[in-house]
Structure 1
Amino acid sequence: MWITAALVAVIGVGAVTVWMLRPGESAASAPVISPTPTATATPTPTPSPTATGYPANESAYDLGTLPQVNVFAVIPALPVDTDPYGAFTGEDATARAAGAPVFADPLGQPVAYLPADYTYGGTTVPIIERQANWVHVLLAGRQAVPSQGDPAQITGWLRAQDVVVAPLDASVEVNISARTIDIVRAGIPQRIATDFGWGADATPTPHGRAFIMTTRVEQSFLYTRGYPLVYLSTQSPTMDGFAGADVAVTAFHYHDERSGNVSNGCLRVDPDTITQLAALPLGTPVTIHP
């Protein structure tokens, strides 16, 4: 778990129901009687395709009036992910200019903003649904701390006009019961670990989809032996904070004791595994299966 005691506020990554607008079907016209006794029906015209998804929103917003989405943020208006094992689109999004307004509902008003830059990362976010005018993304931060609500992975909607979309090269699949970690590229998994440590019963590792929020070396964390920590967007399902900090972030990191349910929620791995994970770009999707 992350032991850094100075950070700031959150991310919309939750799940919102998407209404898809579909074109109507036009009925066939009445039969036309020809000069001969044969009657033929006029073919039903094929309806023109209609774009699906939420309508565009061209409004201007003052980001200074909105809470910032970051690892320290607790934003009750942002929904939690309702499809924790759902697919990613294989793309990420970053805010243009200083930041992008974040919506819990694309038909409503923004409830937060995603900064273009933040010291502790979380600004490159994976897309879980892409529409013509909107992208649905995972976010850092929490809707609530465990003692007061649901601390699960959050989501939010960003306007396509406010972000830069880029393809993702890889994703990570963790299976705790099978004790495997794979890096998946072009649909092909590469096994990088066949044993590791995960959360103890009282401090379990959060399950579901998340993303790599930031990667950094903390020399003061002697248990890492100088290897980097790869921090994820998810936080502990049981702890409001950790070691005096207001956050309890899940991470991949090196540890000498790294087999079985031995951690405070982090995933403890060997040197080769953490080196490969640390090479992945920020925003890389990670799915943790029980």
Structure 2
Amino acid sequence: MAHPRRGVRVALIAASAVVVAVLAAAWMLRPAEQPAASPSSTATPRQTLTPTPSVTPSPTRTPAGYAANTAEYEGATLPAITVFAVNPALEVDDDPYGAFTGTVVTPREESAPVFADPEGEPVGALLREYVHGGNTVPVIERQTHWVRVLLPGRKAVPSKGDPSQVTGWLRVADVEFGTIDPVVEVSISKRTIDIVRSGDRDRIADDFGWGTDQTPTPVGRTFIMKAAVVPQYSYTRGHPIVYLGVQSPTLDGFGGASVAVTAFHYHDARSGNISNGCLRVDVDAITALAKLPLGTPVIIRD
């Protein structure tokens, strides 16, 4: 359990080159499909645009939503919520095709406590800086004192529970806000990928590769966690890889790694259900996707 203390702090330890290489390997869905994020890669800048209206709180709550929590927590005592996290206390998204609010948040200090229930104690901490991204997250519900967000990591690995996109609550006082307009919409059945901005739809793909029946692409809403160029993986032909906050619905990990992250990336073979879950696209599509701000909402439909 977290212990109250002034400020929210997480001790971040700079990894050695060897450790970075080990973590980088954990990104792969397979050697020819999901490469490691590059620690030296430049993050995509956050975009500031006119926000869409906030989601109306549930009728079962007061107009302001949950009451404020002004307690202080020591972030170092809380498990970090990162792509590698498996945290049974987190909840999976109960409205996977629901709307976004047009808002993203980033921890104001070194970390922000994450709550599964705003009336309970924190179950983890979202880091402000992390080599594999996932620090800027989209808001799916906004209240006076709280925001509900999509998060990196999983509630469980597929062999032991539900690995779907996870959510959590952050205190408004602990985060910095940004507005975001684009939403990426993927239709597997139609084989289309669109970037939608203020109602205007830009079709960037009318064919792509997706997961097999045994290793399907996860569906529902998620977000862009990180974009990186990884030159050592030649199948990308030097183009960026755009990592998402959701992981495989069937793979606990891959190739000895503990994660099975879904991503958009270039591949010469990019039509039909041929991948381990990643979305394989052409040069123009991956170039457009890599330009989007971190935290950009993504909705994948069957």
How far is the alpha carbon of 1:219 from its aligned partner? 1.3
What is the one-letter code of the residue matched to 1:278? Answer: A
Which structure 2 residue ranges, 5 or more long, are not aligned?
1-28, 40-56
Q: Distance in 1 between matches of 2:293 and 2:38?
A: 24
Deviations 1:207-244 (A, max 9, x none): 00000000001112111111110000000000011122
What is the one-letter code of the residue matched to 1:261? Answer: N
2:275 matched to 1:263?
A: yes
> Counterpart of 1:228?
240
The 5 A counterparts of 1:132-147 are 132-147=144-159
Contact kept, 8 Å, 1:218 with 1:226, in 2: the verdict is yes
Contact kept, 8 Å, 1:5 with 1:245, in 2: the verdict is no
What is the one-letter code of the residue matched to 1:263? Answer: S
2:214 matched to 1:202?
A: yes
Residue number among 75, 78, 83 corresponding to 1:66 in the alignment: 78
2:244 matched to 1:212?
A: no
Residue number among 153, 160, 166 corresponding to 1:148 in the alignment: 160
Q: Distance in 1 between matches of 2:151 and 2:92?
A: 10
Q: Distance in 1 between matches of 2:265 and 2:208?
A: 10
Residue number among 241, 247, 251 corresponding to 2:253 in the alignment: 241
What is the one-letter code of the residue matched to 1:4? Answer: A
Residue number among 172, 179, 184 corresponding to 1:160 in the alignment: 172
Q: Distance in 2 between matches of 1:207 and 1:80?
A: 13
Local SS of the residue matching 1:274: helix
What TM-score comes out, normalization by structure 2 length?
0.81
Change over 3 Å in CA distance of 1:129–1:222 after alignment to 2: same
Give the stretch that moved more between structures: 147-156 or 217-226: 217-226
Q: Distance in 2 between matches of 1:89 and 1:207?
A: 19
2:114 matched to 1:82?
A: no
Q: Distance in 2 between matches of 1:199 and 1:21?
A: 40
> Counterpart of 1:288?
300
How far is the alpha carbon of 1:5 from its aligned partner? 9.7
Contact kept, 8 Å, 1:198 with 1:259, in 2: the verdict is yes
> Counterpart of 2:36?
4
Contact kept, 8 Å, 1:103 with 1:157, in 2: the verdict is yes
Change over 3 Å in CA distance of 1:283–1:110 after alignment to 2: same
Which structure 1 residue ranges, 5 or more long, are not aligned?
8-16, 23-50
Residue number among 60, 69, 92 corresponding to 1:57 in the alignment: 69
Contact kept, 8 Å, 2:36 with 2:230, in 1: the verdict is no
Q: Distance in 2 between matches of 1:80 and 1:154?
A: 4
Q: Which structure has the greater CA radius of gyration?
A: 1
Q: Distance in 1 between matches of 2:188 and 2:201?
A: 16
Deviations 1:242-275 (A, max 9, x none): 1221110000000000000000000000000000
Contact kept, 8 Å, 1:3 with 1:245, in 2: the verdict is no
Q: Distance in 1 between matches of 2:113 and 2:59?
A: 21
